Amino acid sequence: MGKRYHCDYCDKTMVAAPSIVKIHIKGLVHQKLVQEHYQQFKDPETILKEEAIKKPCLRFASGQCQFGAICRFSHYTREQLIELRQYVTSKGKAEFDNRTLSFQDLYQKLQNDKCKLQDNADDKNSTTLYDSNGVTHVLPWTYNATLESYDENLPPSIKKMKLEDFKDAEIVEWG
């Protein structure tokens, strides 16, 4: 028996001759299975982006489309696309909420740690806190009041930070 080629996508074995393998790889069934394989790893955002620009597949609607995942028309119904869009939107919103919450949690945690520290410290007046990231905080956080009168004229590095300033921040990127 000569060398055999096994296609994992189709779970099919054939003679390992370049011409035969080439024909198989160009075949509709193979292409369809490869696409369907990768489709399952796509995130909803990608699927939505791809499907939203396609026209609906009329053949699929009547149950006769043989192209599956490689069809250039969309196999998603209008309702499915609306659902998908709602899912993507709500997922984005949830991530945004989590991020905002995590900043408030962090602040709360620092405040709690500060109370703990003050309870336990030998020096009852100590307001210096070392967090788990090795950052030193002197609490409570204060801001030089005379700077406030300059407001918008200040360079960003010494401008007073408000909670709103952190809402769009990519906390992940801060390392």
Residues 18-47 that bind Zn ion (CB under 5 A): 30
Helix (H, G, I), strand (E, B) or coil at 4: strand
Q: Which one of 7, 14, 47, 139 is in contact with Zn ion (CB under 5 A)?
A: 7
Residues in the chain: 175
Beta carbon of residue 2, minimum distance to Zn ion (angstroms, whole number): 19
Contact 71, 57 (CB under 8 A): yes
Beta carbon of residue 64, minimum distance to Zn ion (angstroms, whole number): 9
Q: Confirm or reject binding of residue 65 to Zn ion (CB under 5 A).
A: yes
DSSP H helical segments within the chain, as ranges? 18-26, 28-39, 44-52, 58-61, 78-120, 145-148
Q: Evaluate the omega torsion of the peptide bond into residue 140 and state whether it is cis, within 30 degrees of 0.
A: yes
Q: Confirm or reject binding of residue 9 to Zn ion (CB under 5 A).
A: yes
Residues contacting residue 33 through CB under 8 Å, at least 6 positions apart: 9, 10
Contact 57, 74 (CB under 8 A): yes
Q: Which one of 32, 60, 76, 129 is in contact with Zn ion (CB under 5 A)?
A: 60
- C-beta of 27 vs 44, nearer to Zn ion: 27
- The span of 9-17, 40-48, 111-119, 127-135 binding Zn ion (CB under 5 A) equals 9-17
- The span of 73-81, 85-93, 95-103, 106-114 binding Zn ion (CB under 5 A) equals 73-81
